[in-house]
Amino acid sequence: MRLEMHARRCTIPTKSLEMEKYMNDIARLPATARTPEPGTTALVTGANSGIGFATARQLLDHGVTVWIGARDHERGQRAAEQLGSGAYVVEIDVTDPASIAAAAEQVRDLDILVNNAGVNPGGDDITGTSIEQLRAAYETNVFGLIAVTQAFLPALRRSAHPRIVNISSGTGSLTWNSGPNPQFDWERVQGGGLAYRSSKTAVNAVTMLTAQALGDDVKVNALAPGLRRTNLIAGMSAGGDAAEAASGAVRLALLPDDGPTGALWSWDGTRAPW
């Protein structure tokens, strides 16, 4: 009797098994994005610059109304004015619960959430990384991402096509950190960037577990954008165009209803390993 009850508790729903098999068979995102319905609304955190700004611009080009999430209202307002019609600013500090709650009150209708806000507190390895660096990375990149997602879930659940896109990093892939990969020189950076890279590994885990919890109705995916010229690191001059990475975020934001969920994707639409 106990064995029978245990077996019943451990039975995995057929739908979950089918979704897992489907996900394992997908190696590339659909070539074209879904045309959003009129009135589709997105929130992009950290959207006043870099990949977030480029993502907002491309979503606007697809006819999406975009909330520019920014810690500094003035910078957000300047970004919104630069982007033009359809762009609005909402002040949000992803490390401040009160700020997140206020933003959720302001943005009542939401179809797409792009968790882009992030920090990189340094490239130190285990011998030099401070607990303060780790706290800074996890507060924004992980805890902030979770807090924002939780705050906007009620609005997303009311959407006909809810999408969550978490901007992660190829350097958060444990597989890519262990050998040759298409995004970075793993041998040159071995062990470095402990705070940032481990926080992005956590983002990948949160993405997968969130997708499992929400089911196939809410598409939840992470993006490995590749090295980009942004202000993530002060004085950054290396890397590619942020707009190229943003195109990957937009493909995930506008996935068709039969598109994948619960995976990490490279900016070029190919599947990236955890």
Phi and psi at 44, nearest 5°, equal -120, 115
Is 138 known to be catalytic? no
Contact 165, 231 (CB under 8 A): no
H and E: helices and strands count for the chain: 9, 8
First to last CA, the chain: 39
Beta bridge partners of 263: 221
Residue type at position 151: A
Is 15 known to be catalytic? no
Q: Are strands 112-115 and 87-91 parallel, antiparallel or unpaired?
A: unpaired
**Rounded to an integer, what distance in angstroms lies between the CA atom of residue 192 and that of residue 255?**
34
Torsion of CA 52, 56, 59, 64, to 10 degrees: 130
Contact 193, 128 (CB under 8 A): no
Residue 250 to residues 69, 85, 150, Cα–Cα distance (Å): 16, 18, 21
Residue tagged active-site, from 88, 138, 196, 219: 196
Contact 86, 57 (CB under 8 A): no
Residue tagged active-site, from 21, 22, 200, 219: 200
Contact 101, 107 (CB under 8 A): no
Positions marked active-site: 196, 200
